[in-house]
Amino acid sequence: MPGDVLFYLGGAKLFYQKEIETMSRKDIEDLQLRKLRWMVDYCYNNVPFYHERLGQAGITSGGKIKTLSDIQYIPCTTKDDIRDNYPFGLLAVPMKKIVRIHASSGTTGKPTVGAYTQEDLDVWSDLVARVAVAGGATEDDIFQISFGYGLFTGALGLHYGLEKIGATVIPASSGNTNKQLMMFRDFGVTGLVATPSYALYLGEMVRESGFPMSAYKLRLGLLGSEGCTNSMRTQIERSLNIFVTDNYGMTELTGPGVAGECELRQGLHFAEDHFLPEIIDKDTMEQKGPGEPGELVVTTLSRYGMPVLRYRTKDITSITYEPCACGRTHARMQKVMGRTDDMLIIKGVNVFPSQIESALVGMEGVGPHYQLVVRRRNFLDNLEVKVELLNADLLESYGALETLQRKIHDRLKSVLGLDTRVTLAEPKSLERFQGKAKRVLDLRNEPEEK
Ligand code: ZN
């Protein structure tokens, strides 16, 4: 294993880079300020886009940054800025220094590109290794990576990070579920990397595989690339008999490994030596205090190929700087509550799909699969929540169906403060997802149904 040592501190408390992960808050902030100043100089001198933006803001050198909070005077970078400079306009190095390109598929238009130097890839693997070890992975584990490979950062990111800690990696990619289960059994797979939605589906298939649970040696899940409520996580853990941790990242910032949960699962530890996170009000752009929810904005502190200053992630969360009982001192962000652009505004009420998911999962008689359909009728929005039944027998009794429907309606009303139309679907009738789930169908711009 190159360079780093795994520290065993009693029980299962593990660190990948203990000295960095347990630095004092003062040392972290000193390091961040030093790196931020360097980063401003680096961007100003090497990226024409930032030269212009920083120049307009009067920040023509890193020396203008006196304290960490001065970061608020640096203009934010948005996804549109990255798209406008597609594909390589934001590179800070000549193309020959770039050794890898990734891209995230956007729902519209051109993909968002990430370009990496060799140093960037080395740091990235370390970051993923930290998250993997924090989530309980060791060199004895055999990990099946059931993320789709390709331009997407998830699969190769976890792949290199897990190899770095000495775990065995099976690049299964997504799809072909029977083969996934066969490899689980035949290769003695102990760890799964997948999206929560795919893990949920694999769990269903494991139950139906006809093999006893003892045929599966799974124990850990490093899930990511989409949100996962605690209740859905519990469901995944039960069905696959694994312990699940969540990790966070995006192509614009590197990929997975920007933040990740430790085994205590009290928030995701940010890799603060490589990233400077802030929470802002998405409308006024003002910085929020610790614990206050808002939009996450992140500055890369050591990315050479494609550095980014104050990237607006559109993810809504909050950050705490209290040290964690695991020993790590790096700030923790709460699970992402939703994305500013996933937020549905229905009859003036803000609704996040994750709120509906939390309300549904764990309710008796219904499964974790759901779909939201938003329509506009007579100029009024209405939200239909399609929920899948666990047991087809219920379809035989109109009375029981009606009772369940009312129960779900009332529960959603108390969580959302909104009347919804609840429809119950037959077991296994709603779509299953192998990548990121698409659970919202917004038909408000379609012609009205007659
Ligand atoms: Zn912790």
Q: Which helix (H) or strand (E) is 400 found in, with range? A: helix 398-416
User: Which tens digit of pLDDT belongs to each residue from 274-300?
Assistant: 999 999 998 899 999 999 999 999 999
Express each pLDDT in 243-283 by its tens digit: 999 999 999 999 999 999 999 999 999 999 999 999 999 88
The residues, ordered by sequence, that sit 6+ positions from 299 with a Cβ below 8 Å of its Cβ are 36, 39, 71, 74, 275, 276, 278, 308, 309, 310, 311
For residue 327, the CA-to-ligand 1 centroid distance in Å is 6
Contact 319, 290 (CB under 8 A): yes
Q: 263 C-alpha vs ligand 1 centroid, how far in Å?
A: 7
In the predicted model, what is the mean pLDDT of residues 94-100? 98
What pLDDT was estimated at residue 6?
A: 41
| Distance of CA 221 from the midpoint of ligand 1 (Å) | 17
Range with the lowest mean pLDDT among 1-5, 102-106, 123-127, 238-242?
1-5
Is residue 7 scored above 70 in pLDDT? no
pTM for the whole thing?
0.81
Rg of the Cα trace of the chain?
23
Distance 248 CA to ligand 1 centre (A): 15
**For 9-30, what is the mean pLDDT?**
84
How far is ligand 1, taken at its centre, from the CA of residue 325, in Å?
6
Residue 443 has pLDDT above 50, yes or no: yes
Q: Tens of pLDDT along 203-214?
A: 999 999 999 999
In whole angstroms, give the CA distance from residue 101 to residue 220. 29
- Check residue 19 and give its pLDDT: 96
In the reported structure, the alpha carbon of residue 156 is separated from the centroid of ligand 1 by a whole-number distance in angstroms of: 25
Q: What are the DSSP calls for 243-285, one per residue?
A: EEEEEEE-TTT-SEEEEEE-TT-SSEEE-TTTEEEEEE-TTT-
Say how many Å lie between the CA of residue 367 and the centre of ligand 1: 31
Mean pLDDT of the chain: 90
Q: What is the pLDDT of residues 74-91, one digit of tens each?
A: 999 998 899 899 999 999
Rounded to whole angstroms, the Cα distance separating 333 from 320 reads 6
| 155 closest CA partner among 145, 168, 165, 164 | 145
Which residues sit with Cβ closer than 5 angstroms to ligand 1, an ion? 262, 264, 324, 326, 328
Q: Is the predicted pLDDT of residue 347 greater than 70, yes or no?
A: yes
Is residue 10's pLDDT more than 50? Answer: no
Q: How far is ligand 1, taken at its centre, from the CA of residue 5, in Å?
A: 19
Residue 11 pLDDT exceeds 50: no
pLDDT tens digits along 154-198: 999 999 999 999 999 999 999 899 999 999 999 999 999 999 989
266 CA distance to ligand 1 middle (Å): 7
* Per-residue b or e along 127-159, where b marks 16 or more CB atoms closer than 10 Å to that residue's CB: bbbbbbbbbbbbeebbbbbbbbeebbbbbbbbb
pLDDT of residue 107: 53
What is the percent of the chain with per-residue pLDDT over 90, rounded to a whole number? 69
Alpha-carbon gap, residue 82 to 78, rounded angstroms: 7
According to the model, what pLDDT value does residue 106 have?
A: 60
Distance CA 344, CA 313 (A): 18
